[in-house]
């Protein structure tokens, strides 16, 4: 549990990516915000000693796939840069989920 608490505290210091300038990324940004909130809530419950169901902490592979596809298909360099920042943030979430899963 200590490792999870430390990892979570370090994670909270990671800067959340900027909101998109182009509406092409709006849905992906919204999904990232919702997923981030979901994981933060689940981790908070674990740290408070509350039980979680097995599927309450998981990595969102679907969001990752959509972001990677956007990067491949977008022709706009600025949008690609923003989408890559979302993927990088998602990688931090993946690390947090791994620690949480190993703490169950």
Structure confidence at residue 11 (pLDDT): 94
User: Across all residues in the chain, what is the average pLDDT?
Assistant: 91
Structure confidence at residue 2 (pLDDT): 63
DSSP 53: -
Q: How far apart are CA 31 and CA 59, in angstroms?
A: 13
Q: How far apart are CA 60 and CA 79, in angstroms?
A: 21
Residue range 28-77, pLDDT digits in tens? 999 999 999 999 999 998 889 888 776 778 999 999 999 999 999 998 89
pLDDT band for position 103 (cuts 50, 70, 90): confident
Percent of the chain's residues with pLDDT above 90: 72
| Domain residue spans of the chain | 2-102
Burial environment of residue 46 by CB neighbours within 10 A (0 to 12, 13 to 18, 19 or more): buried
Q: How far apart are CA 40 and CA 56, in angstroms?
A: 11
| This model's pTM is above 0.85 | yes
């Amino acid at each position: 549990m200590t490792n999870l608490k430390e990892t979570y505290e370090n994670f909270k210091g990671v800067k959340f990516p900027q909101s998109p300038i182009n509406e092409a990324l709006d849905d992906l940004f919204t999904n990232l915000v919702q997923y981030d909130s979901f994981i933060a809530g689940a981790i908070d419950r674990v740290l408070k000693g509350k039980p979680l169901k097995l599927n309450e902490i998981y990595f969102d592979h679907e969001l990752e796939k959509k972001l990677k596809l956007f990067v491949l298909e977008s022709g706009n360099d600025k949008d690609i840069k923003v989408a890559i920042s979302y993927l990088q943030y998602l990688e931090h979430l993946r690390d947090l989920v791994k620690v949480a899963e190993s703490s169950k």
